[in-house]
Structure 1
Amino acid sequence: IIDTLEENMHTEKYSDFLYKKRQRKGISLFQARKMIRDRNYYGACMVEFGEADALISGLTKEYAATVRPALQIIGTEPGGSRVAGMYMMLTKKGPIFFGDTTINKNPTVQELVDITLLLDRAVRKLNIIPRIAVLSYSNFGSNEDEIPDKTREAVRILHAEHPKITVDGEMQANFAINNSLLKDNFPFSTLASAPANTLVFPNLESGNIAYKLLQELGEAEAVGPILLGLNKPVHILQMGSSVREIVNMVTIAVIDAQSKQAQPVQKRRKSLFSRREKI
């Protein structure tokens, strides 16, 4: 157990590193030495320096204050500029993935594209083939407005630049989940053969509301939020998470760490869902 308030052999190294990273963003050396005593800054440095494989935090702090140190110290994946939050909803019909539920308030067209790509990659890491619906209150051009227009344009870009991804939209949530409804009304859709298992929401408000409604009214178990797009494994709990939710997040962090270290984990890793009752 490390008491971050006490000096140790890493305190000076971490504070100097933080200062060099943030010195042109208003952080003085004195402030860096004070900030590094916060366990979230200290923990992020441990992961960045390879002295920890993953960081899980947030049980007693608000989400924004917990994720900020990870963004400042670890940053995004090489070539990436976007992070997003994903929830894995364990329902009676199987797992459904929601994003973005925690980070991007009102994403642009390109940000929606980036979020979709992050979700696609994350779901594949769990040995599940993603079938992605980009949601709106409109179906395939039935309404012209800011939200339908941007989701429709995001899908157009995804179809043009990432043709191997199974994605379609814009569409209403019931059409994404109800395959018979979609097939009867929009048989041309790339999702007509089977329902979506990954839902991309047009903004943070809709995504956050949707997962909480499903959790409370649909009795679905929520695993997350799973933070996507960071260069190293950091995952932020919701305040007041239960023991089960913490253990679930540890499972996700282990899979994430193994994946980022490029270890041959496929044979060792069993599906999270097949072990659900043991978690």
Structure 2
Amino acid sequence: MSLLEQIYAKAKENPQKVAFPEALNEKMMQAAYETGKEGYIIPVLIGSEKEIKEAISGRNYEESIFTIIDIQEETYRQRLIEKYVALPHTILKEKALSRRIQNPLYYAMAMHAVGEVDVTFAGIDNTTGEVLLAGQMIIGLQPGISTISSIGLCDIPGFQGSEGSLLAVGDSAVCTNPNAEQLASIAISACDTVKALLDWEPRCALVSYSTVGSGQGELIDKVVEAVKIANEQRPDLAIDGEFQFDSAISPAVAEKKVKRESKVAGKANVIIWPDLNVGNVGVKLIQQFGHADAYGPMLQGFNKVICDCSRGAPVSEIKGNVVISAVRAAGSK
């Protein structure tokens, strides 16, 4: 069974409510409809009820597959505002929230914050920046997490790692040049993400051009400090480094280069890049020369699961990311 088949099977066991604030977008509605009809999620469309129903009818979809939330319906809207402002540690108060949720993206996030949906899924009509801003303003960050980041899952033909052909990598999409504190935050988030999605026991390696002091310089110092911070904040997680990439994933190389005890060296299933240059190039090398399928990027660091998909993504890819997001949400409860 392939990685996606495993994830789809998990989604069907426990379908989650997924909010689609870009409900009128043709690709988004199709992905919501198909994943809902096939039993992987419960799709919640947010916007103008009249326009949504007209689009459903015009596209010959079964309306019963969807839950439709009309952002102009006053009774539910007011109840949502009251539930949100009653939450502890919220940034927006009643008047400010009332203005913001005229936008379906913010309306979806508010529903998400109060637990009426499990995932917010957007990114075709909204930019990444808009999704991130709404998420930070309405949902907020996990305790102890200082930065939003992303993780991807690579299925690499011929690779025989600790999880077979699978390897999680991050951040390859969001955080450009993380400092030590941010790098530690990315590593902690990545461990929590893979545990929720795949039930792995994460073994997380922070990589650089040095293995346990074989090189020197400020680029290495940042990684070493990040490992220290991550271990202090989450001693329950196996996070180690600094390792060169081969020392992280190859038992034979780790045996030669890592002369101390490590739960991670040679058997890492999560790789954390030192910056976005390395991450972007690394993923593309894995894809081009390793012929890997790369799933993601999955946003992480928020209090709840938010997905920002690529604006050029085909329906098939959107569906995959919807289902992955739903499984992450189920696993994080």
User: Quick check: TM above 0.5?
Assistant: yes
Q: Name the CA shift for 1:195/1:22 in 2 (closer, same or farther; >3 Å).
A: same
Match of 1:176, SS state, is helix
Between 222-231 and 167-176, the greater mean CA deviation after superposition = 167-176
Q: Name the CA shift for 1:212/1:68 in 2 (closer, same or farther; >3 Å).
A: farther
Contact kept? 1:77, 1:231, Cα under 8 Å: yes
Per the alignment, residue 47 of structure 2 pairs with 3
Per the alignment, residue 70 of structure 1 pairs with 135
1:174 Cα deviation from its structure 2 partner: 2.7
Per the alignment, residue 317 of structure 2 pairs with 245
CA distance in 2, matches of 1:162, 1:51: 30
Match of 1:222, SS state, is strand
Q: Name the CA shift for 1:61/1:205 in 2 (closer, same or farther; >3 Å).
A: farther
1:166 Cα deviation from its structure 2 partner: 2.7
Q: Which runs of 5+ in 1 are unaligned?
A: 262-279
Verify: 1:99 aligned to 2:170, yes or no: yes
Taking only the aligned residue pairs, the percentage that are identical comes to: 28
Per the alignment, residue 107 of structure 2 pairs with 42
Per the alignment, residue 185 of structure 1 pairs with 257
Match of 1:101, SS state, is coil
Between 159-168 and 227-236, the greater mean CA deviation after superposition = 159-168
Per the alignment, residue 257 of structure 1 pairs with 329
Equivalent position to 1:219, from 287, 291, 300: 291
Per the alignment, residue 195 of structure 1 pairs with 267
Contact kept? 1:102, 1:225, Cα under 8 Å: yes
* TM-score, reference length from structure 1: 0.77
Q: Name the CA shift for 1:88/1:202 in 2 (closer, same or farther; >3 Å).
A: same
Contact kept? 1:84, 1:229, Cα under 8 Å: yes
Q: How does 1:1-279 map to 2 (within 5 A)?
A: 1-4=45-48, 7-9=72-74, 21-22=91-92, 33=99, 35-92=100-157, 93=159, 94-125=165-196, 126-159=198-231, 162-188=234-260, 190=262, 194-261=266-333
Contact kept? 1:90, 1:96, Cα under 8 Å: yes
CA distance in 1, matches of 2:274, 2:182: 10
Q: Which runs of 5+ in 2 are unaligned?
A: 1-44, 52-70, 160-164
Q: CA RMSD in A?
A: 3.0
Per the alignment, residue 60 of structure 2 pairs with none
Between 111-120 and 170-179, the greater mean CA deviation after superposition = 170-179
Q: What code does the residue aligned with 2:153 have? A: M
1:161 Cα deviation from its structure 2 partner: 5.8
Q: How many residue pairs are counted as aligned between the two chains?
A: 255
1:258 Cα deviation from its structure 2 partner: 1.8
